[in-house]
Amino acid sequence: MTSSLKSSRRILIKLSGEALGGETQFGIEPAILSEMARSIIEIRNQGVQVALVIGGGNIFRGAALQKAGMDRTVGDHMGMLATVINGLAMRDELIRQGTHCVLMSAQGIASITEQYAAQKGREILEQGSVLIVAGGTGSPFFTTDTAAVLRAVELHCDEVLKGTKVDGVYSADPFKDPDAVLYKTLTYKEVLTKELQVMDLTAFALARDHEMKIRVFSMTREGALLNAATGGDEGTLIS
Ligand code: UDP
């Protein structure tokens, strides 16, 4: 098997940690975990190769810990470990629902995850297993959005799917402005010139420089994730 072999559509889904926490946005809500795993298996069963990056904001964020007085680097290490905790929970749920799944982490925690390695990751995806990539980029001062784009580029994914509370990118905040318009497509340049909020700038610049498509869609609307993952015209596509 060569490192670049890709026999079918390959996507990377970025889920925020907060989404796992449900209404409180803290910790892990078992019913949400179970429903997310069910959706991922549904996508996998359509023949799509699925990589998953989960944030850690439902447990710790370095910036918040810094505000409370902690050293930022230590806080970010805690945030990255939080993404490993979420990854462990998701791996367990996927396996319990009958799907083979591998958890890799940027930090070597040999007894509980595999060490992240791009080529190994691509082989795992090609074999049809779900691949969870935890531990962020492995470095402080970055976000899991940046990790998601970085891993998508390394793993030769076709698209990054970013689940949000709204069903795409709007001209203004749809919760505050009734005239806000949903964009179906945008170029990287349009996102920057219109100053639209898609991802943090580091993540976005990486996507633009490597022409990694980003699709923003609703995490809460039923069927949206499956439609986005199987190439449907869902949410907003940035390319
Ligand atoms: N983090 C980091 N480097 C990375 C990715 C994440 O230091 O490459 C830390 C950072 O403290 C961040 C936390 O992990 O706040 C959790 O990630 P994020 O806030 O992106 O999670 P999400 O908002 O997606 O739940």
Does 136 sit in the ligand 1 pocket, CB within 6 Å?
yes
Kindly state if the Cβ of 61 falls inside 6 Å of ligand 1: yes
> What is the pLDDT at residue 4?
61
Which ligand 1 atom is the nearest neighbour of the CA of 65? 11
Residue of the nearest CA to atom 6 in ligand 1?
143
CA of 83 to the centre of ligand 1 (A): 8
pTM above 0.75, yes or no: yes
Residue 36, number of CB atoms within 10 A of its CB: 23
Q: Cα of 144 to ligand 1 centre, how many Å?
A: 5
- Half-sphere exposure for 200 (CA within 13 Å, toward CB): 10
Which residue from 161, 21, 48, 35 is spatially nearest to 94, judged by alpha carbons? 35
Determine contact, residues 219/225, Cβ cutoff 8 Å. Answer: yes
Nearest CA to ligand 1 atom 22: 55
Q: Give me the tens of pLDDT residue by residue for the chain, a chain 239 residues long.
A: 445 678 899 999 999 999 999 888 899 999 999 999 999 999 999 999 999 999 999 999 999 999 999 999 999 999 999 999 999 999 999 999 999 999 999 987 999 999 999 999 999 999 999 999 999 999 999 999 999 999 999 999 999 999 998 999 999 999 999 999 999 999 999 999 999 999 999 999 999 999 999 999 998 899 999 999 999 999 999 99
Does residue 135's CB lie within 6 angstroms of at least one atom of ligand 1? no
Tell me, what amino acid is at 143? T
Instruction: Assess contact for 160 and 215: CB atoms under 8 A.
Output: yes
